[in-house]
Every structure is written in structure tokens, then in C-alpha cells.
Structure 1
Amino acid sequence: MWQGWPLERVLLLFVGLAFSMLFVQVTMFHSRQNFRHWAMWIPVIEAPLFAVTAIVLAFLNAGWLRLLFALFMWIGLVGGLYGAYLHTVGVGQRVGGYSQSQNFLVGPPIMLPLMMTAMSALGLLALYWG
């Protein structure tokens, strides 16, 4: 089955599986915080949509699906950067702000939304490089 798969298809499948795992992680973190900010719902809603679209696109190369996936990846790229901004602000709002290195360990994880950005960028690379 894997014989002859181009790198684009393998990367699309990888991106879909990565978004599935990110969905689980983000949902656990944001539900633990009781979705206190409306933006916490963004990755919880978009990650499974991104995952399904990427996985289906790995098996079905339809033009409309490629367009939808590209749109989703651009949204994910911008959304991840926005999330990193919000997480950085959240670290600063903790007692002691940015001067307490502990806040970077126990506060909102700044790297997690950047992983959404990175996966979106990888999805775009897979889509346009091939």
C-alpha cells in the first residue's frame, strides 16, 4: 500500500495524524481551564477539521479538497500565531509576570500554539511543494 506513495501524500497523512494528537492535547488543556476565553474554542474546533481534511486529502486528491485544505492551513497558521500571542500575554498576567521563570513552566504553554502553526506550515509545504 505504501509502495509508490509520493512524499506529499505521506506528509499530508502525517499532518492529519499530528492535528488529531494536537486536538487531544489542546482539548485537555483548555477544558482544564474551563474555556475561560472564547479563543480557547478555536483550536478545539479547527484541529479535528484540519485532521480529517488532511487525512482524506492523502487518499482523495480532489481540487476542491486541496483548496479547502489550503484555506484551513492558512487559518491554522494565523490562528496558531494568535494563540502564541494570547499564551504569552497569559504568562505575563501570572503573579510575577515574565520575571518569574516558573510562570513559563506552569502558565499557558507558548509552544503548543506554535506547534499548530508549524503543522499548518508543513501542510502548506506538502500541498504546494509537490
Structure 2
Amino acid sequence: MWQGWPIERVLILFTGLAFILIAVQVTLFHSRQNFRHWAMWVPVIELPVFAVTAIVLSFVNAGWLRWLFALMMLVGMGGGVYGAYLHTAGVKQRVGGFSQSQNFLVGPPVILPLLITAIAALGLLALFWG
């Protein structure tokens, strides 16, 4: 089944599977915080959509789906950067702010939204590589 698949196609499939795993983790983290900010819903909703689009695209190479995927990956990259900003602001709001390294351990994970940005960038690279 995998014989003959170009690396671009495999990477798009990997992108979709990675978005599923990240979606589970983000949903757990944000539900633990009771979705205190409206922006907490954004990755919970968009990541499964990104995942399904990537997985379908890896099996159905339709032109409109490629452009939809590209648009979603651009949104994902921007959303990841915005999420990192919000998470950094959340760490700053904790008692002691940035001066307490403990706040980076127990506060909002600053790196997780950047992981979304990185996976979305990987999806774009895979899409336009060939």
C-alpha cells in the first residue's frame, strides 16, 4: 500500500495524524481550565478540521482540496503564533510572572501553540514541495 507514495503525500498524512494527537492534548488542557477565554475554543474546533482535511487530501488529490488545505495551514500558523502570545501573557499574569521559572512549568504551555505552527508549516512544505 505504501509503495509508490511520494514523501509529500506521506508528510500530509503525518500532518493530519499529528493534528489529531495535538487536538486531544489541547482539548484536555483547555477543558481543564474550563475554557475561560473564548480563544481556547479555536484550536479545539480547528485542529480536528485540519486533521480531517489533511487525511482526506492524502488519499484524494483534488485541486480545490489542496487550496483549502493551504488556506487552513496558513490559518493554523497564524493561530499558533497568536496562541503562543496568549500563553506567554498567561504565564506573565501568574504570581511572580516571568521571574518564577515554576510559572513556565505549571502555567499555560508556551511551546504547544508553536508546535501547531510548526506542523502547519510542515503541511505547507509538503503541499508545495513537489
Q: TM-score, normalised by structure 2?
A: 0.99
2:125 aligned partner, one-letter code:
L
Query: Structure 1 vs Structure 2: percent identity of aligned residues?
Result: 77
Instruction: Kindly state the Cα deviation for residue 22 of structure 1 after the two structures are TM-superposed.
Output: 0.5
2:32 aligned with 1:32, yes or no?
yes
- What is the alpha-carbon distance in structure 2 between the residues aligned to residue 30 and residue 83 of structure 1? 12
- What is the alpha-carbon distance in structure 2 between the residues aligned to residue 25 and residue 114 of structure 1? 14
Q: Which residue of structure 1 aligns with residue 78 of structure 2?
A: 78
CA RMSD of aligned residues (A): 0.4
Name structure 2 gaps, 5 residues minimum: none
Instruction: Kindly state the Cα deviation for residue 126 of structure 1 after the two structures are TM-superposed.
Output: 0.3
Written as runs of structure 1 = structure 2, the 5 A alignment for 1:91-110 is: 91-110=91-110
Match of 1:53, SS? Answer: helix
Question: What is the count of residue pairs matched by the alignment?
Answer: 130
1:54-80, Cα deviation, whole Å (9 max, x unpaired): 000000000010010000000000000
- What is the alpha-carbon distance in structure 2 between the residues aligned to residue 128 and residue 89 of structure 1? 34
- What is the alpha-carbon distance in structure 1 between the residues aligned to residue 31 and residue 123 of structure 2? 27
2:112 aligned with 1:112, yes or no?
yes
Q: Which residue of structure 1 aligns with residue 88 of structure 2?
A: 88
Name structure 1 gaps, 5 residues minimum: none
Match of 1:88, SS? Answer: helix
- What is the alpha-carbon distance in structure 2 between the residues aligned to residue 96 and residue 65 of structure 1? 47
Q: TM-score, normalised by structure 1?
A: 0.99
Q: Which residue of structure 2 aligns with residue 52 of structure 1?
A: 52
Instruction: Kindly state the Cα deviation for residue 26 of structure 1 after the two structures are TM-superposed.
Output: 0.2
